[in-house]
Structures are given as C-alpha cells and as structure tokens.
Amino acid sequence: MAEQENSKDLISVLWSGADILRSKMDANEYKNYLLGIVFYKYLSDSFLIKVYDMICDDKPESLKEALDVYVEELQGEDADELIKEMKDECHYIIEPELTYTCFADAARNNIFNREQLQKAFNNIEQSDPIFADLFADIDLYSNRLGAGDQKQSDTIASLIREIDKADLLNTDAEILGNAYEYLIGQFASETGKKAGEFYTPQAVSKILTQIAIAGQEDKRGLSVYDPCMGSGSLLLNAKKYAEKPEYIKYYGQELNTSTYNLARMNMFLHGISPENQNLRNGDTLDEDWPTGEETDFNMVLILLIQCVVKPLASAMGI
C-alpha cells in the first residue's frame, strides 16, 4: 500500500509539470520537455547518490549533502580517480554546477540560465554513444515556450522547480519506472490518434508478454525483441514475468527518432543497465534487425496494427 501511495505522489508531482506547458503547445510537443527534463533529473540525482556512496559508503540524507561532499572531493588529490570510477560506473560525468540540484536552486532564486542546461544536455550526449542525441527533441530556445528570451527561460525554470518536488532520492527504480510509464500513457491519451506511434496499452502488453514468455519464465539471459518498440513499454513488460529479470537482454528497433529517444530514457528509468540494452533507430519494414548481430531471440513481441498496418495505410494515403 505504501508503495502505491509513493507511486501516486510521484505521478502527481511529475504530471503537474505538464500544466506549465499545456497552454503553450500540444501534448505531442510538450511530452518531450517534461519527459526529457524528468530524465535529466534522474541522471543527476542518481549520479550524486552514487558519488556519495563511493566516497562515504552510505546513502546521503539529501541531494544537497551529496553535492557538497562531491564538490569537496573534487578539490582533493583523489579527484581524478573519483572521476574515472564514476565514468566507469555511470557512463557519464556531471559537473557540480550542472547538476539538477544546482539548476533547481538557481530557478528558485531567479538566476536560472538555460544555456547551462543546454550545456548539461550536450555533455551527457557526448559522454557515451548510448546517450547520443538523447535530448535532441528539447528545444530550450523555442518560441513556443514564450515570447522572448526571458519568458522562454522562465518557462523552463518553472518546469524545473515543479519537477524538483519529486523525491527521487527515496524512490526505487520500479516506482520511478512505473510513474514514467504512467506519464507516457497520459500523453498517449492526450495525443489521440498519434498515440499508437509510441505507446502500447498495458492491458495489451500484458497479454502479448504472457503468451510470448510462457515456459521461459525461469530462463537466465532471456532475450526479447520488439521490431517496432515505440516507447519500449511492451519490451519492458518481460521483466514483470521473468524470474531473473536482471539478466534479460532487450532488443528493439524504432523508426521515429523522437520515440526511439523516449524508449532509451524509459529503459534507464526502469533500471536497465546499458549492457542489456540493444536499441536501434531504424525502419523494420525496410531493413530488419542486422543479420550480423544476434537474431535468435527467445521472445519476439510485436503489435501488428502498430508496426505493419498503420505504416502501410499511411503510405497508401488511407
């Protein structure tokens, strides 16, 4: 029951961020801002928690405490070793001034600089190929955010303040992942006919997954492939029914670049390690999964109406 309440509270906080953008653009656009900034907060908070644990072998009382310890350690003689260990652990490094904690503090004090946030996005994207172009759909300089630089910056600052209310420090990956899935579902409802491009309803996902995994629930190193993965929600259902979910290998392909980025974020927010993610931005109808890579999958999940029927109908002008 407590877990359900925590999930509801988290969902409520995250979804309230949509209210800031709803009057400025439609859901298909503002979902990129909300989900992208939530994801950056996740990366930043996770980084600070891991830094603190590496230095103090403990969990911080607050993100501010973790940030202070991080800043102090960077001034010591072991700074280079810490950076190397954190890069190996996280695949990225976040400088103290580019943490979400610093951005939220700046937003509360009306000194937020969106150029710093853009720099933070760029740094993550360039840190490892798994993050390449991940924030490409977030235009921090869009006129949709407001008329003029100040109003645009104020809109992003308001969104950062609102999302900062989400306590990710004390939220496990499953609750956070479920909250993210809920947001995706809400966006699917608001976008109507476009929803099928990135979201498979949970009821449908459940049935398809149970059929595909039957008799393989106890298999270690289960491999699952979705040739039209959308946001990855169908793929991620496999971990709910596998006895050894931490060993699942996820393979997916998605034509729409924005949706492909959403799927990558979704994987991380569900606690899937980079080593277990094998996702491609490609057209399955034009070119299937590369034959030079693993193709002997234990499970293949596909929603035919989304992957085949809709693209063909669109191409035929139906």
Please report, in tens digits, the pLDDT of each residue of the chain (318 residues total). 445 555 667 888 888 888 899 889 888 888 899 999 999 999 999 999 999 999 999 999 999 999 999 999 999 999 999 999 999 999 999 999 999 999 999 999 999 999 999 999 999 999 999 999 999 999 999 999 999 999 999 999 999 999 999 888 888 777 888 888 888 878 777 766 455 556 677 777 788 888 888 899 999 999 999 988 888 988 999 999 999 999 999 999 999 999 899 999 999 999 899 999 999 998 888 877 766 776 788 988 876 545 443 444 445 454
Global model pTM greater than 0.75: yes
Handedness of CA 6, 10, 15, 19 (dihedral sign): positive
Query: 282 in helix, strand or coil?
Result: coil
CA distances from 297 to 225, 240, 294 (A): 7, 18, 7
Here the tokens at position 217 are 């629930």
The CATH homologous superfamily for domain 2-171 is N6 adenine-specific DNA methyltransferase, N-terminal domain (1.20.1260.30)
**What pLDDT is recorded for position 80?**
95
What is the C-alpha to C-alpha distance for residues 78 and 137, in angstroms, rounded to an integer? 37
Closest CA to 242 of 274, 263, 265, 215: 215
At 281-304, the pLDDT tens digits run 988 888 777 667 767 889 888 765
The CATH homologous superfamily for domain 198-315 is Vaccinia Virus protein VP39 (3.40.50.150)
Here the tokens at position 145 are 């955010």
**What pLDDT is recorded for position 204?**
78
The domain limits of the chain are 2-171, 198-315
Which runs of E-coded beta strand occur in 178-248?
223-226
What is the C-alpha to C-alpha distance for residues 177 and 187, in angstroms, rounded to an integer? 15
Give the H or E element holding residue 277: strand 277-281
